[in-house]
Amino acid sequence: MAEVLEGSELKVIAFDVFGTVVDWHSGIAAEAERLLPGIDGGAFALAWRAGYQPAMKGVMERLAAGEGGFTLLDELHMGILGDVLRDFGVADLDADTKRELNRAWHRLPAWPDAVEGLARLKRRYTICTLSNGNIGLLTEMAKRAGLPWDCVLSAEVFKAYKPDPRTYLGVAAVFDVTPGQVMLAAAHHDDLAAARACGLRTGYIERPLEFGPGRPKDVSPQPDNTLHARDIGALADLLGC
């Protein structure tokens, strides 16, 4: 793969987290079933995650219009959770259980290849998160799952959310390297496209079961990505780590 990285020595790999490094569908489904007996955990997880894009769009619009400050993902998740609980007929959940359920996003399990794959990449590259998740969430998740980040970067550091260019270019600035010396690794083509537009290299990570076994995802390669890898171990293989 030396040819695709030609002209710019790769220094930093920034990882999208939800879906790419951790399995939010299984994690949320299991915690929902534990805390809300009788619920369909998989459906609950999909409903909660489906609320993310519209809620984030609203936050970004208000931020751009100067009408609101920065919102932590924990707060965003809590707002969506209220609606999802209502839709699932459990609107009367007590505050402590609701808070514990919201914290399920801090306790998501890593995909089975993630910890070892990251450890291999870490030997040669600086590896960090680049997620719209807040720092506290990402740190607790890493501590529990054993994700060996060199550094936890987040929308919270840049006060801008992906796909804002300030996040991708912010990674390069933090490490004092060129955008071409940074790769974004993600399971989502829109995230990768936004990073590519900023000059970053891109590594697509297949996660066919991101939305659960009932909703397999198209993981076909897209030619604009620098690398295409089955999982994080395969990314380490491609990079010769």
Give the binding site for its own copies (CB under 8 A). Answer: 74, 126, 128, 134-136, 139-140, 142-143, 150-153, 156-157, 174-176
What's the token pair of residue 111?
């995909």
Closest CB to its own copies among 8 and 139?
139
- Residue 205 pairs in a beta bridge with 229
Closest CB to its own copies among 60 and 137?
137
In angstroms, give the least distance from the CB of 134 to its own copies: 8
In angstroms, give the least distance from the CB of 88 to its own copies: 26
In angstroms, give the least distance from the CB of 14 to its own copies: 12
In angstroms, give the least distance from the CB of 72 to its own copies: 9
Phi, psi of 228 (to 5 degrees): -130, 120
Specify whether the CB–CB gap between 201 and 182 falls below 8 A: yes
Closest CB to its own copies among 63 and 174?
174
d(Cα 181, Cα 197) in Å, to the nearest integer? Answer: 14
Closest CB to its own copies among 174 and 234?
174
In angstroms, give the least distance from the CB of 149 to its own copies: 8
DSSP 108: P
| 170 conformational bin, left if phi > 0, alpha if psi -120 to 50, beta if neither | alpha
How does 169-186 read in b/e, with b if 16+ C-beta sit within 10 Å?
bbbbebbebebbbbbbbb
Closest CB to its own copies among 153 and 235?
153
Specify whether the CB–CB gap between 14 and 182 falls below 8 A: yes
